């Protein structure tokens, strides 16, 4: 599959779930989007992206712009979701993929919080695809979550 499918669907999902947000589609870190072929379970990878979308909506103020990036970088397929929200401290970022970890619940716009499982589940699903997740963030600078998977190359062209 090509991660561009998930990126395009995430663009439409965010438009439907949070029409007050500007959403852009780029390549990893900016530039034009590109192909990102991977060998993977589309339903599980779609779940990962859904978790990232839910996280961005829950933990950033209404109207916060979001960027979806897709392509390859350093021989890896990359799918990322970045926001211009409040960001996290280094201590929060170090624990964000831990089960049941919730950063300061006051920073989100939801009243109910969550169980702290969304990102842990996402990381586990990505690891099952022989990949990894990263977060790049700092207070006041938003957060970008990156899914990095091995590029699938098929010498037969199938």
The pTM score is 0.86
Mean pLDDT of 149-158: 76
Task: Name the residue ranges covered by the structural domains of the chain.
Answer: 3-150
- Asked if pLDDT for residue 106 goes beyond 70, the answer is no
Q: Could you tell me the sign of the dihedral formed by the alpha carbons of 30, 32, 33, 34, in that order?
A: negative
- Burial class of residue 81 in the structure, from the number of CB atoms within 10 Å of its CB (0-12 exposed, 13-18 middle, 19+ buried): buried
39-43, 106-110, 131-135: the lowest-pLDDT one: 106-110
Task: Report the residue count for the chain.
Answer: 158
Q: What is the pLDDT of residues 56-87, one digit of tens each?
A: 998 899 999 999 999 999 999 999 999 999 99
pLDDT more than 70, % of the chain: 87
Q: What is the pLDDT of residues 29-52, one digit of tens each?
A: 889 999 999 999 999 999 999 999
Mean pLDDT of 119-137: 92
Domain 3-150 -> CATH class: alpha beta
């Amino acid at each position: 599959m090509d991660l561009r499918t998930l990126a395009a669907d995430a663009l439409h999902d965010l438009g439907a779930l949070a029409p007050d947000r500007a959403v852009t589609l780029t390549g990893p870190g900016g530039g034009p989007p590109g192909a990102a072929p991977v060998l993977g379970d589309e339903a599980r990878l779609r779940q990962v992206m859904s978790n990232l979308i839910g996280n961005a909506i829950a933990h950033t103020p209404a109207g916060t712009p979001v960027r979806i990036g897709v392509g390859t970088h350093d021989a890896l397929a990359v799918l990322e979701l970045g926001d211009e929200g409040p960001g996290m401290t280094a201590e929060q970022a170090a624990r964000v993929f831990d089960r049941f970890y919730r950063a300061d619940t006051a920073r989100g716009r939801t009243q109910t919080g969550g169980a702290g499982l969304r990102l842990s589940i996402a990381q586990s699903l990505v690891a099952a695809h022989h990949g990894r997740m990263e977060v790049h963030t700092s207070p006041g600078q938003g957060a970008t979550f990156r899914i990095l998977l091995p590029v699938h190359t098929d010498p037969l062209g199938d």
